[in-house]
Each structure stands twice: as C-alpha cells, then as structure tokens.
C-alpha cells in the first residue's frame, strides 16, 4: 500500500568496497484470515556490503555481498488479543523469508546503475576526427576509509589507429591538492594533456589572408615591402598574401600550482597569392608561441582556453635580410587569428 523513500547511509570499507545501510518503511494490506482487511506497517533495516574489483577488461565493478534484513518494528490493525501469536507467526514464517527477496535485488539494481557508469567511462571517446581516448584501470581499485582511488591508464589512438606514447608521471597522493568532502577529483597529468594536443595538432593548421578575420593589418606585398625594404624590389606590388600556419612539432603542456601553459611550435610561410597564378613562397618563419591555459568543465568535458603570452619568430628560409621587423605583425596574426582558431 505504501513505501516511504528509503533512508540510505553509505560508508567505505577499507580494502573491500562499500557498506550501505537502508532504512525501509512500508505498509502491506490484504485480506485477513478472520475476515476484513488487514494492514501491517513495518520498519526494517537492510545492510549490504559490496566488493569493488577490476574485471578482465580493466573496468571497475561493484558486486553485492552479505545482504541482511533486520525487522525493527511491526504494527498491525489486527485485534490486540491476537497480536502476540499472529504477529510472531507472521514474522517467523513470512516476513523473514519474503523481505530479502523483495529488498535485496534493489541493492543489485543500484549497483548495476553504477557499473553502467563505469562501463561508459571505459568506452572509446572520439577526439573530434583526430583520434580516440579510452580509460582503463592501471591497478586494482583501492578503498580507504575516506575515498576510493582509481589509477587509470589513458590510451590515446590517432585516427590511423596508432597508439600515442604517454610518459608515466603518476604523482603520489601526498602531493595532490587537499581533497574536498563529498567531491570527486580527477587528476590529469601534463604529459597526458600534451599527448592529447599532439593528436589534435593537425587541426591547428590555418591559412590566413585578408578575409580570414577582422583586426589584422592588410596582408599584401606592399605591407611587407614597407616593413622589409631589402625585399621590396623583388615583390610584386599590391598582391595579396597568404600565411600558412602549420604545427612543426608537438605542443607541450606545463602545469604549475599557479598557472598552466601550452607551447606551440609552428611555421608561418608567407606566400604571394596572385589571382591568376599559383601561390609563390617568399619565406618561412619558425614561430614559438607561449600560451596561458584556462581550464573549465562543461557538459562533463574538460575545456581548455588559450591566451597568447608571447610569440617569438625566427628565420627558417630566405637569407637576404637578417633582422625581421615582423614580430609585431606576427604577434597580431597569432593573437587575432591563430589562437582563436585553435580555441
């Protein structure tokens, strides 16, 4: 007839898994053997232990163990003269047999929901079209009195299927930030984030021209000639420029207690792009960009936002001039066009 919302208490069992106590209040109704309706209201305490283990696929699992039911109180609308005998018989012959089969499967149902979450955690996650990410357990789960620790192995695959090597730099628990009560912490290493950026680096490629983004200086040969008089005589006048930004080396993430940074190692190839012929390369600059990282969580995903701290350029090809007064223009290009494209 009635089932009150259960009152659930949870505790971690060191070296085992989870202990739960569930206070249940319910009312049964039916026909009495002496005629009329009978109501029985009972309060019972369910206790169960669950074991946290690692399956063959490297996924954590909860399995229930030792489910027990203890009756706390029973009330009925039967005549008071019948209460002692009838209640005793009912408890012994019926409730103690029925309740475990009625309530213990609920424990399994809840644990199965948690195990489904674990299975989702270990499924392949697409990183756009660049590759995939997968988590598996590196070691069996460890349960203490205050937390469960899962040491995860991160498996990154490029879109061709090749696995990306990630150096192991697992910190000790003592070196991690203090754990907040009732919170889950996921600790990701700088090496892991660098490896993810390495998979994504081909998507950082960008061709920049006058039509790419507002806020850039005019990207024409006249601008180059004014900045670098040494090459003005060999440049066709007023021809549009295209700057090909390409990642030359894998990005590198560094994390400190105060700030985090990503270093990008790019090339910027300046090309003349006449309307009636193929582009012609003028020179290539090596560009080293230092970007500050801001982290955020949105829809259960880690998001990185990059902001330019400084960009340095070096001559890679073309030796007519030694000094390049292009640093300001280069910084504008990285700040206004390239970094927003990556973000």
Contacts of 128 (CB under 8 A, 6+ apart): 200, 203
Q: Find the range with the poorest average confidence among 1-5, 157-161, 317-321.
A: 317-321
User: Pick the residue with more confidence: 168 or 6?
Assistant: 6
Is there a single domain that holds both residue 317 and residue 221?
yes
Token pair recorded at residue 85 = 């005998």
- Residue after which a domain boundary falls, among 120, 151, 169: 120
Is there a single domain that holds both residue 230 and residue 115?
no
pLDDT at 232 over 80: no
SS3 224: helix
Is there a single domain that holds both residue 197 and residue 334?
yes
pLDDT at 229 over 60: yes
Is 90 within a domain? yes
- Residue after which a domain boundary falls, among 120, 138, 159: 120
- Residue after which a domain boundary falls, among 95, 120, 145: 120
Is there a single domain that holds both residue 195 and residue 323?
yes
Is 222 within a domain? yes
Is there a single domain that holds both residue 79 and residue 214?
no
Q: How far is CA 328 from CA 26, 52, 107, 114, 146, in A?
A: 75, 58, 65, 54, 54
> 105-143: buried (b, 16+ CB within 10 Å) or exposed (e) per residue?
eebbebbeeebeebeebbeeeebeebbbbbbebeeebeb
pTM of the predicted protein model: 0.72
Is there a single domain that holds both residue 95 and residue 225?
no
What's the CA dihedral at 182, 184, 190, 196 to 10 degrees?
A: -150
Is 62 within a domain? yes
What CATH number does the domain containing 23 carry?
Answer: 3.15.10.10
Residue 13's domain comprises 7-120
Is there a single domain that holds both residue 92 and residue 203?
no
pLDDT at 215 over 80: no
pLDDT at 219 over 50: yes
Is 125 within a domain? no
Is 23 within a domain? yes
Is 82 within a domain? yes
pLDDT at 323 over 50: no
Neighbours of 273 (CB within 10 A): 18
The mean pLDDT value of the chain amounts to 84
How high is the pLDDT of residue 265? 92
pLDDT > 70 fraction of the chain, expressed in percent and rounded: 88
pLDDT at 244 over 90: yes
Token pair recorded at residue 227 = 């900045």
Q: Find the range with the poorest average confidence among 25-39, 201-215, 248-262, 304-318.
A: 304-318
Q: How far is CA 259 from CA 190, 254, 291, 293, in A?
A: 12, 9, 11, 7
How high is the pLDDT of residue 321? 46
How high is the pLDDT of residue 319? 44
Q: Which of 7-21, 71-85, 147-161, 279-293 has the highest mean pLDDT?
A: 7-21
Neighbours of 48 (CB within 10 A): 22
Kindly state the average pLDDT of the residues 29-57: 86
Is there a single domain that holds both residue 197 and residue 290?
yes
Query: Can you tell me the distance from the alpha carbon of 231 to that of 257, in angstroms, rounded to the nearest whole number?
Result: 47
Number of compact structural domains in the chain: 2
Is there a single domain that holds both residue 105 and residue 222?
no
Query: Can you tell me the distance from the alpha carbon of 133 to that of 159, in angstroms, rounded to the nearest whole number?
Result: 11
Local confidence band at 63 (pLDDT 50, 70, 90 cut-offs): very high
Kindly state the average pLDDT of the residues 3-27: 92
Query: Can you tell me the distance from the alpha carbon of 321 to that of 184, in angstroms, rounded to the nearest whole number?
Result: 56
Local confidence band at 86 (pLDDT 50, 70, 90 cut-offs): low
Is 336 within a domain? yes
How high is the pLDDT of residue 2? 86
**Is the CB of residue 240 less than 8 Å from the CB of residue 273?**
yes
Kindly state the average pLDDT of the residues 169-191: 74
How high is the pLDDT of residue 322? 45
What CATH number does the domain containing 208 carry?
Answer: 3.15.20.10
Order of strands across the sheet with 131-137? Answer: 125-127, 131-137, 152-158
Is there a single domain that holds both residue 214 and residue 71?
no
Is 155 within a domain? no
Is there a single domain that holds both residue 196 and residue 110?
no
């Amino acid at each position: 007839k009635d089932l009150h919302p259960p009152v659930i208490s949870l505790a971690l069992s060191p070296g085992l898994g989870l202990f739960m106590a569930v206070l249940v209040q319910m009312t049964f109704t039916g026909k009495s053997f002496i005629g009329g309706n009978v109501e029985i209201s009972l309060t019972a305490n369910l206790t169960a232990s669950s074991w946290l283990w690692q399956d063959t696929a490297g996924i954590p699992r909860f399995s229930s163990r030792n489910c027990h039911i203890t009756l706390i109180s029973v009330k009925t609308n039967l005549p008071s003269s019948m209460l002692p005998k009838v209640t005793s018989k009912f408890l012994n012959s019926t409730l103690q047999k029925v309740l475990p089969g009625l309530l213990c499967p609920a424990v399994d149902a809840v644990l199965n929901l948690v195990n489904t979450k674990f299975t989702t955690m270990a499924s392949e996650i697409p990183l756009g079209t660049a590759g995939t990410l997968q988590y598996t357990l590196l070691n069996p789960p460890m349960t203490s009195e205050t937390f469960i620790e899962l040491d995860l192995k991160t498996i990154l695959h490029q879109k061709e299927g090749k696995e990306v090597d990630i150096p192991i730099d697992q910190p000790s628990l003592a070196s991690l930030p203090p754990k907040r009560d009732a919170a889950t912490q996921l600790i990701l290493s700088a090496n892991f984030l660098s490896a993810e950026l390495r998979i994504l680096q081909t998507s950082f490629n960008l061709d920049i021209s006058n039509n790419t983004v507002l806020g850039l200086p005019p990207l024409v040969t006249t601008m180059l000639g004014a900045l670098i008089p040494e090459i003005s005589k060999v440049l066709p006048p007023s021809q549009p420029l295209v700057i090909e930004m390409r990642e030359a080396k894998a990005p590198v993430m560094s994390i400190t207690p105060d700030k985090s940074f990503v270093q990008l190692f790019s090339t910027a190839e300046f090309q003349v792009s006449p309307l009636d012929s193929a582009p012609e390369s003028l020179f290539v600059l090596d560009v080293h960009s230092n970007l500050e990282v801001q982290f955020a969580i949105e829809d259960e995903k880690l998001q990185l936002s990059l902001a330019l701290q400084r960009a340095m350029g070096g001559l890679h090809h073309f030796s007519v001039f030694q000094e390049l007064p292009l640093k300001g223009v280069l910084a504008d290009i990285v700040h206004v066009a390239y970094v927003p494209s990556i973000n």
